[in-house]
Amino acid sequence: MWELARHIDGHFLPYYLFMHLWVKAGTAELWLRLPSAVGIGVAAWFLVDLGRRLHSTRAGVIAAAIFAILPSVAYFGAFARPYAFAAAAVVFSFWALHRAIERPDGRRWVVYGVAVALVCCTHLFAVLVLPAQLALARRGRVVPMLAALAVGCLPAVVLGLVGFGERHAISWIPQRGPEVWLKFPKMAAGATGLGVMLFAMALAGAVLLWRASRDDRRAWVFALAGWLLLPPVQLLAVSRLVTPVYVDRYLFVTAPALALLAGLALASLPRLHVVAAVVVVLLGCALSFQEHVTVREENGRFENIPWALRVIKAEPDDAIVYGQSQLRIGFEYYADSLMPVDVLKAGDAPSPDGFGYPERPDVNAALKGRERVWVVWRGSKQSAIPRAAEVEKAGFELSMAKHSTDLPGLTVALFTRR
């Protein structure tokens, strides 16, 4: 883990350390995904209370209900990576800031500083929400607020420098243009129709909150709008000025703001707000039904390893070759029956600079004495995979190939000796 942090994933080290301790109690799939589910629950809890503080209890409850039906929330709530943690930390930071502004004292500013530090530690790009909080800086509280922000952002400085030194690890990210903003509603909500509807409601929520507030509380309109809208703008700016980094999932931290602003819009209706909220939630479920089904399918992340394992009908002495070395981690985790011999794997320790394993360079020598070879790779059957070409060069021919339904998907191919 330390070697990995030194080479490509240093900014994820806090999450890796947590999971290192978490897996001491087990490595079942449900157990590995549980922290993300808990993180989503924590985010929803703070969202309820933040909505109550800004408007009313019904606003918080409606916001949490909308948050709960988002396909993006369903996706990241079952994703064993730190995105759900980041969303929870961001909501916590806005909640803690509201408490500190409401009744300024040293302890509340300390809690806010801790919340900012958690934002920085969960995901490096979660810090893109923090500039929105500067809209709440006012005379009389600007010094403690900026002090808490400065101290809380120290982890971001360290992890940012580490990430910049390891930017080669994200060299696969292409340069993007402003057109990606058109896809932002779908990214935040997880479904296009639902995202467009909620963005329109969020705009209405910002307007209604502005009209219902006075003076200082109107600053929250800018803070919430900035929470939703500033991160994609800043992420694209970083991509243009430093290195390409625009990836949709880095912006999941904006989803709670979308739900909160939509909840404020519904709660601000003069009457029938409960009925309106129920209608919006049910309509949202209908608009995103297919996305929810897709997320929950076995191939919900487009790398269907259980399907691939069912395709592999291994016989004694069969070999397996992976088109991408890191694929073997998933196959070794899910395998529950006879697996072909991993003839290229050169050791049990992963490579220090990636997620793959060291492999023997001579495919021909590794396949001596083998009559059947299973080759698995990420991509379609037409993808040009060097490992498949090396297997053919070693005296094998393609006997069968199957591809999972979605792209990029997985391809499982059987080669037999000519």
**Residue 136: pLDDT band by 50, 70, 90 thresholds?**
very high
Domain finish residue from 246, 261, 296: 296
Shared domain for 140 and 249, answered yes or no, is yes
pLDDT, tens digit (0-9, with 9 covering 90-100), for 257-280: 999 999 999 999 888 889 999 999
pLDDT, tens digit (0-9, with 9 covering 90-100), for 140-187: 889 999 999 999 999 999 999 998 888 888 888 999 999 999 999 999
Q: Is the pLDDT of residue 352 over 90?
A: no
pLDDT, tens digit (0-9, with 9 covering 90-100), for 357-410: 899 999 999 999 999 999 999 988 888 789 999 999 999 999 999 998 777 889
Report d(CA 339, CA 326) in Å as an integer.
Answer: 17
Shared domain for 286 and 380, answered yes or no, is no
Report d(CA 203, CA 180) in Å as an integer.
Answer: 20
pLDDT for res 407: 76
pLDDT for res 354: 78
Domain finish residue from 296, 328, 356: 296
Q: What ranges in 250-304 are assigned the alpha helix state H?
A: 255-267, 273-287, 289-296
pLDDT, tens digit (0-9, with 9 covering 90-100), for 47-61: 999 999 999 999 999
Shared domain for 137 and 114, answered yes or no, is yes
Q: In degrees, to the nearest 5, what angle opens at C-alpha 345 toward C-alphas 317 and 350?
A: 150
Tokens representing residue 193 in the block:
């129709």
Shared domain for 350 and 246, answered yes or no, is no
Q: Which residue has the tokens 């691939």?
A: 308
Shared domain for 232 and 330, answered yes or no, is no
Q: Is the pLDDT of residue 300 over 80?
A: no
From 415, 375, 387, 77, select the one nearest 255 (Cα to Cα).
77
Q: Is the pLDDT of residue 353 over 80?
A: no
Shared domain for 285 and 316, answered yes or no, is no
pTM: 0.93
From 330, 364, 329, select the one nearest 344 (Cα to Cα).
364
Within 10 A of 192 (CB to CB), how many other CB atoms are there?
15
Report d(CA 229, CA 41) in Å as an integer.
Answer: 23
Shared domain for 406 and 276, answered yes or no, is no
Instruction: Tell me the mean pLDDT in the region 132-138.
Output: 93
Q: What are phi and psi of 55, to 5 degrees?
A: -145, -70
Shared domain for 364 and 291, answered yes or no, is no
User: Containing domain of residue 59, as a range?
Assistant: 2-296
pLDDT for res 384: 79
From 250, 161, 155, 263, select the one nearest 209 (Cα to Cα).
263
Shared domain for 115 and 235, answered yes or no, is yes
Average pLDDT, the chain: 92
Cis peptide before 131 (omega within 30 of 0): no
Domain finish residue from 256, 277, 296: 296
Where is pLDDT greater, at 351 or 147?
Answer: 147
Q: What is the length of the chain?
A: 418
pLDDT, tens digit (0-9, with 9 covering 90-100), for 186-221: 999 999 999 999 999 999 999 988 887 776 678 999
Shared domain for 161 and 232, answered yes or no, is yes
pLDDT, tens digit (0-9, with 9 covering 90-100), for 69-115: 999 999 999 999 999 999 999 999 999 999 999 999 999 999 999 99
Shared domain for 46 and 94, answered yes or no, is yes
Tokens representing residue 165 in the block:
């030194």
- Domain tally, the chain: 2
Shared domain for 175 and 243, answered yes or no, is yes
